[in-house]
Chain A
Amino acid sequence: MDLILVNIIDGLVTGLLLFMLSAGLTLIFSMMGVLNFAHASFYMLGAYFAYQISIALGFWMGLLIAPLIVGVLGAGVERYGLRRVHQYGHVPELIFTFGLALLIEELVQFIWGKNQMPYSVPEILDFTAFAISGNSIPAYKVFMIFTSVAIFIGLLYVLTKTRVGMIIQAALSYPRTVEALGHNVPLIFMGVFGVGTALAGVAGVIAGPVLGTFPGMAFVLGSIVFVTIVIGGLGSLWGALAASLLIGWITTFAKSYNIEMESILNGIGISTPDNLDESIFRDFWSITSPQIADILPYILMVLILIFRPAGLFGKRSS
């Protein structure tokens, strides 16, 4: 029971982190209709910038400044890159962001090298917040949870309660009408792109110390983020939240409980073959849940796409 509680907290941290990335990504998708492959790269840039700033000015300034730089960079990418490629159609846009992801990874390696950066949790948060029957929960995890929740509430407030949010929502569904009313829609798009990438930057800043700041960090999280928004339903903010938490909990629980395929199959009445070592299914029989924890989201995505192509919360559309 205690272990379940610990896992719930761990899964919540992972899920909320995923959500900070997928929220920006899904906003950008519903706006431009293009999946930003480089989204996780902005997350990585956030971590690296924050590391560089934290050397000189400390962690908190990094948390403040790095997302701003990432957001400005993101807006620049939209303004000078995506807007240019947009005229060629959607597939080149996807290819462009894909190329950008490759390029940013190479660029990070070029500047900071291939090794992991010694970016660590600030001293003020480096203590144990509380313990659940011997399993200590670091204060930094609590901090991560509160930051993500605060950002989510802030985002929800801005989008639904403020004038700017109303205009953004309107621009998402009726860009031409909004433009006719005198709003600068391309500027709104650029702003949303910038805010989305800045959110990814925030995620990078707070995840860098725990998950490690290294050139592969974008790749590790990147494809999981796409999986998340596909499962949640492309363009749905609530879907992104639900899918992020779902994936966070599924992977955490799969990793901490060692469930063997053999016992599942035996449980449903299929007996283990006698000469297991020679059977071509021997690897299938010996699968354990920690082994496949990292590919569970992909399996889930393929199943979702087969049975409910619009995703959990997605509206059915062409």
Chain B
Amino acid sequence: MTVSDPRIDPKGAREDEQITTDPSNPVERMRSGSMTLSLAPWVIAAVVLAFLPMVFTNNSTLTIMNQMSITIVFALAYNMLLGQGGMLSFGHAVYAGVGGFAAMHIMNMSDFFATIPLVVLPVFAGLFGMGLAMIVGSFSTRSAGTVFAMISLGVGELIAASSVIIVAFFGGEEGISGNRTYAQPFFGVEFLQQLEVYYLTAAWVVIAAALMYLWSRTPVGRMANAVRDNPERAEFLGYSARWVRFYSFVASGFFAGVSGGLFAINYEILTEENLNTASSGVILLVTFLGGVGYFFGPIIGAIAFTLLQTVLSLSTELWAFYAGVLFVATVMFFPGGLAGLIMMHVPVFKLGKSKTLIKPYLYTLLPAAIGLLGLAALVEMTFHFRHAATGDNEMTVFWMTFDSHALIPWLIAAAVTAIGLGIAKVTAPDLREAWSEANTAGGKS
């Protein structure tokens, strides 16, 4: 069945086992480089998380930050598969969802729930996610690549579809809900307030992220990378590619379950939406946007995506469309994601030439951004023109209210788009030149 392809890459990696990063690129090679375990980033993260509520005090911001934290844990768990293990799953929401549902059922078992503190609930959720991952992984991890992706999709659809049939566990259409405050108080804290929940979630994020990072440094975690890059060679070294995949899958299921447990604690309700393919797609989007090549990629992705979702969905109906465009553009032009973009600049900084890039960046990216905003305005106006109720001609884009059926706003938006993108196109060669100059050692600095 495997057909050799004329456009196969010359590096000789097996075509169905390739990863998104390019090993011949020195920047991308660095990700697998140092084995140092530095405490500094973790301490900084913990301190920042501890002080954030003092800056952002209102409840809605806390909710957004909680949402971010849950997504971070889930995206990191997902990246254990996609980035570190090279396994593409289209149904990973199932493990988070089942973990969450299990946590919800524990919340509703009042006798048992009253004897455990709420802070350990995510562990139970994780164990359920892990249990399911063990069952599914026992047959799905036999191969990576397309077959794995197809099984993950099939199992995901299967469980999402059974959620409306198996009402006893999944609660049918309306899902199941519970009350987190019935748990045994944890040092007197009953988690009635949003702030207390925030600290619980934040603590879990740091713990889970640290554990996942440590996992990626264990021999099993390192072997996952080896199996991703070249399973045959890993087998010759005496490791079973299948079992290495299985361990990654199970660990990923555990942490996905933890994120589901955190979701249960935060929202106190779980529905079919936590399981379905759309949720699985979102987590793939988040992880890929952040960058699968680096451990911290999904963290950036989760933060950026949650912000984008919150800000955009408040201001436009079309946010899913923009997210889709962004996703496809990322896959096509920046397969390293945001983390890849950031790490591209490390050599420039090491060469001490970062200053030479500021001006070209300003000249190209600023007009490009303005041009894209103009394009977005055009899109919004088209949408309004086509779908607004007849007679409702007034619309607001970028805090300006105008008549979407008049000609002048269209001309202005089109002009802004053309001029912005035009300038960017003219200055792009300069930027490219400055970039290659900044990446070359020596010369004028």
Contact = CB atoms under 8 A, between A and B. Distances in A.
B19 A173 contact: no
B282 to A, nearest CB: 10
B18 interface: yes
B352 to A, nearest CB: 31
Contacts of B13: 89
B1 to A, nearest CB: 4
Interface in B136-171: 139-140, 142-143, 145-147, 149-151, 153-155, 157-158, 161-162, 165-169
Given A95-B88, A294-B161, A295-B157, 11 more contacts: A87-B9, A91-B20, A92-B335, A95-B331, A98-B284, A173-B3, A186-B6, A234-B1, A280-B168, A280-B169, A305-B140
A295 B162 contact: yes
B321 interface: yes
A283 B165 contact: yes
A111 B379 CA distance: 10
A223 B320 CA distance: 21
Nearest to B18: A89
Contacts of A283: 165-169
Contacts of A113: 386-387
B182 to A, nearest CB: 22
A88 B13 CA distance: 11
A12 interface: no
Interface of B: 1-7, 9, 13, 15-20, 22, 82, 86, 88, 90, 139-140, 142-143, 145-147, 149-151, 153-155, 157-158, 161-162, 165-169, 277, 281, 284-285, 288, 318, 320-321, 324-325, 327-328, 331-332, 335, 379, 382-383, 386-387
21 contacts: A33-B3, A33-B5, A81-B328, A89-B19, A90-B16, A96-B328, A96-B332, A110-B318, A113-B387, A175-B3, A175-B4, A176-B6, A223-B154, A226-B153, A235-B1, A295-B157, A298-B154, A302-B154, A305-B139, A309-B147, A314-B1
Q: Which 8 A-B pairs have the closest CB atoms?
A: A89-B18, A103-B324, A106-B321, A317-B1, A298-B158, A295-B161, A99-B328, A99-B327
Nearest to A31: B3
Contacts of A34: 146
A79 interface: no
Given A84-B332, A298-B161, A305-B150, A102 B327 contact: yes
Nearest to B145: A90
B281 A91 contact: no
B293 to A, nearest CB: 11
Contacts of B16: 33, 90
Interface residues of A, number: 67
A30 interface: yes
Contact of B86 (A91, A173, A176, A223): A91
Contacts of B321: 103, 106-107, 109-110
B1, B9, B281, B320, most chain A CB atoms within 10 A: B1
A284 to B, nearest CB: 7
A95 B20 CA distance: 11
A230 B146 CA distance: 10
Nearest to B167: A283
B24 to A, nearest CB: 12
Dominant secondary structure at the A interface:
helix
Interface in A293-318: 294-295, 298-299, 301-302, 305-306, 309-310, 314-315, 317-318
Contacts of A227: 154
A94 B88 contact: yes
Contact of B151 (A31, A96, A302): A302
Contacts of B281: 98, 102
Given A102-B324, A283-B165, A85 B331 contact: yes
A105 to B, nearest CB: 8
Contacts of B151: 302, 305
Given A31-B3, A92-B331, A282-B168, A309 B383 contact: no
B273 to A, nearest CB: 15
Contacts of B157: 223, 295, 298
B158 to A, nearest CB: 4
A32 interface: yes
Nearest to A35: B146
Contact of A85 (B6, B140, B162, B332): B332
A176 B331 CA distance: 28
A30 B3 contact: yes
A292 interface: yes
Contact of B147 (A99, A298, A305): A305
